[in-house]
Amino acid sequence: MANVNDVALYVLNRIGYTSTMKLQKLVFYSQAYNLVSTGRPLFEDRIEAWANGPVVPSLFFEHKGRYVIGPEDLSLHGPSTLTMTDIACIDHVISRLGDKTGSELSCLTHSEDPWMAARGNLPYGARSHNQISLDSIHAFYSSDRARSNPVFC
C-alpha cells in the first residue's frame, strides 16, 4: 500500500505547483476513487473533516505554513510504493478535477455525504478532527448520489 506522501508527490509531479487546499482535495478524491475502483484504500493515513473540507493531517504537517506547494517541498520516506493501478486511479482524478481550484474542490466536498456526516452538527467554520471513515467514503462514492461528481459520473 502506498503512503499519502507518495500520492501527493505524484500529484504534484503531474500538475506542478498548486495550493495546499487543492492538493489535499485531489489526494482525498484519489483515495475515494481507488477505494471504489479496487475495493482497497490507496493509503492508510487518517482523513479528517476540517472546516475547508477533507484533510489528511499527516500531509498537512508536511506543508503547514505554505499556501502553495511543489514536489520538492515534500519529504520523501523511501522509494514510491505506487502501483500501476494506483497511478491509473490518481491520473483519472487529475484528468477530471485537475482544472478546478482548491476552493471549487472544497465546495464540492462540502456538498457530499462523507464530509457532511463526519462534521455532524458542527457550526460552519468550526474546527474538527472528526474522522471521515473509509466505509462512508466507499458507501457514498459507489452510490448513484455521487454521480454529480465528475470523478464518479
- DSSP conformation letters of 105-148: HHHHHHTSHHHHHHHTTPPTT-----B--HHHHHHHHTSGGGGG
* Length of the chain counted residue by residue: 153
Residues 32, 114: Cα–Cα separation, whole Å: 10
- pLDDT at position 77 is 66
Cβ contacts of 141 within 8 Å, gap of 6 or more: 32, 33, 35, 36, 114, 149, 151, 152
Q: What pTM, to 2 d.p., does this model score?
A: 0.96
Q: What's the pLDDT tens digit per position in 58-101? A: 999 989 999 999 999 988 767 788 999 999 999 999 999 999 99
Would you call 79 helix, strand, or coil by DSSP? coil
- pLDDT at position 79 is 75
Nearest-5° Cα angle at 107, 101 to 111:
145
Please name the residue that has the C-alpha cell 507518495.
6
pLDDT 10s per residue in the chain (153 long)? 899 999 999 999 999 999 999 999 999 999 999 999 999 999 999 999 999 999 999 999 989 999 999 999 988 767 788 999 999 999 999 999 999 999 999 999 999 999 999 999 999 999 999 999 999 999 999 999 999 999 998
- pLDDT at position 76 is 72
Query: In which element (H, E) is residue 49 found?
Result: strand 48-50
Residues 69, 61: Cα–Cα separation, whole Å: 12
- pLDDT at position 126 is 97
